[in-house]
Amino acid sequence: MANVSVCLVHQPLEKLEEVAQRYRGMDLELAVAYISPGGVLNLSQLIKAARCTRITVGIAPINRVVAFRQLQELGAEVFVYLAEPGSIFHPKVYYGVNKGLAWAMIGSSNLTSSGLGLNIELNLLIEGQRFTEPFTRLEALLEGYRLQAHPLTEELYRSLEAAEQRLERHIREREYTDYLRREGIPSAARPALVVPEPLQRQALEELEHYLQGTRLVYAYQMLLCLVMLAHTDNRGFFSQHQAATCFRRFYQLRDQRGLPREKQRGKRRAAIDDPELEESAFIEIIRIDPFPRFERRGLLEASPEGDYYIVNPALMRALTPEVRARLRDLAIQRLAQHFGEDRATIERLVEEAIG
């Protein structure tokens, strides 16, 4: 995770009150399994400090409808999540965004008096730029939860209130949710990853801005972008081996056509100028530069094992065939400018080496 800070939180209410002061005017989004009136009261200052609040909460017999009403009276949009049979909606996420900055508290604390102040709880507080992992993926998951949930309308509120009055307080959770399904409230399917369109646009703009404005000492940045556009699979992965193979082939083709491997800069000699470089050397060159340039912008990250590069999920969703073609043209144009060669020559090299 680039450009983020992480700290442990064992006194969640105290930390959330501190966050409320530092992020006044934020957009606040929560996803929790359980709530209580006392928990809502404890969190009221955080909600009041927010510009807007949305909360997705599980349907369970201990989640009293009076707590839902409290949240609405504080101005929050409430969504209730009825999980599919055999499953429980169980996240504990507190997330805020303000002026491009983001924070998230994730851990064991439900929105209850016990979860926020009395129990022995442990959470992580993560802060940093909104457009970095894990915030991009987290925002997508939260939107997925919300789209699967039911907005708390007056009709739904009355249905939950009637169920609460009819059933005993300590009824088993499975019996309670089965009852609600029989009453006509549909359960959600497993949540899908939904990346909000504004994040997709932001990710794409970040890549376009980088391709247009980055200074090219060597061709590496454009080549890595071209590999990403051509060889990323539907999960957003492309292998370091694939990238190295494409780089090596590109420079070999330049050798075969009698073209200099790289643009000459006085007496400075690029590592890539060595015609005997093995694939392992190309992997190392890419790992040192240009990969960190993409990582710092939140566009790529490396898999834990280091075998793959992973495209930011928001960027991945934005890369339609039309967008890929446009970005490919831009990268080829930058390469032609970099080498001082005609576009057709670069186009042929890229097509043969990368695809």
CATH of the domain at 171: 3.30.870.10
Q: Are residue 146 and residue 257 in the same domain, yes or no?
A: no
Q: Are residue 172 and residue 315 in the same domain, yes or no?
A: no
Instruction: Among 35-49, 226-240, 252-266, name the one with the lowest average pLDDT.
Output: 252-266
What is the per-residue pLDDT across 106-138, written as a single tens digit (0 to 9) for each?
999 999 999 998 899 999 999 998 888 889 889
Q: For residue 190, is it within any domain?
A: no
Q: For residue 253, is it within any domain?
A: yes
Q: Are residue 318 and residue 176 in the same domain, yes or no?
A: no
Q: For residue 320, is it within any domain?
A: yes
Domain that holds residue 340: 197-353
Among 148, 182, 216, residue at a domain's last position: 182
What is the per-residue pLDDT across 155-195, written as a single tens digit (0 to 9) for each?
999 999 888 888 766 777 878 888 888 888 888 876 556 78
Q: Which residue has the higher pLDDT, 181 or 29?
A: 29
Instruction: Among 11-20, 26-35, 92-101, 174-183, name the one with the lowest average pLDDT.
Output: 174-183
Q: For residue 262, is it within any domain?
A: yes
Q: For residue 189, is it within any domain?
A: no
Phi, psi dihedral angles at 28 (to 5 degrees): -115, 135
Q: For residue 192, is it within any domain?
A: no
A 10 A CB-CB count for 225 gives 23
Q: Are residue 22 and residue 51 in the same domain, yes or no?
A: yes
Q: What is the pLDDT of residue 305?
A: 72
Q: What is the mean pLDDT of the chain?
A: 90
Which run of H or E residues covers position 43?
helix 37-49
**What's the domain count of the chain?**
2
Whether 1 shows a pLDDT value over 60: the answer reads: no
- What is d(CA 292, CA 296) in angstroms, rounded to the nearest whole number? 6
Q: Are residue 123 and residue 270 in the same domain, yes or no?
A: no
Among 151, 182, 213, residue at a domain's last position: 182
Q: Count Cβ atoms within 10 A of the Cβ of residue 94 and give its class: 0-12 exposed, 13-18 middle, 19 or more buried.
A: buried
Q: Are residue 81 and residue 220 in the same domain, yes or no?
A: no
Q: Are residue 177 and residue 263 in the same domain, yes or no?
A: no
What is the per-residue pLDDT across 79-96, written as a single tens digit (0 to 9) for each?
999 988 767 899 999 999
The answer to whether the predicted template modeling score (pTM) of the entire model surpasses 0.75 is no
Task: Outline where DSSP puts E strands in 170-329.
Answer: 237-239, 300-302, 308-311
Q: Are residue 112 and residue 246 in the same domain, yes or no?
A: no
Q: How far is CA 185 from CA 182, 243, 301, in A?
A: 7, 50, 41
Amino acid at 105: M
Q: Are residue 128 and residue 207 in the same domain, yes or no?
A: no
Q: What is the pLDDT of residue 30?
A: 98
Q: Are residue 176 and residue 230 in the same domain, yes or no?
A: no
- Torsion 278-284-286-288 (CA) sign: negative
Which residue in the block uniquely carries the two structure tokens 């490396």? 302
Sheet with 101-107: strands ordered across: 4-9, 123-129, 101-107, 92-98, 26-32, 50-58, 77-81, 150-151
Q: Which residues pair with 308 in a beta bridge?
A: 239
Q: For residue 187, is it within any domain?
A: no
Q: For 18-31, b where at least 16 C-beta lie within 10 A, e where not — what string?
A: ebbeebeebebbbb
- What is d(CA 111, CA 16) in angstroms, rounded to the nearest whole number? 12
Q: What is the pLDDT of residue 190?
A: 65
Q: How confident is the model at residue 225 (pLDDT cuts 50, 70, 90)?
A: very high
Q: Are residue 213 and residue 158 in the same domain, yes or no?
A: no
Q: For residue 188, is it within any domain?
A: no
Q: Are residue 10 and residue 96 in the same domain, yes or no?
A: yes
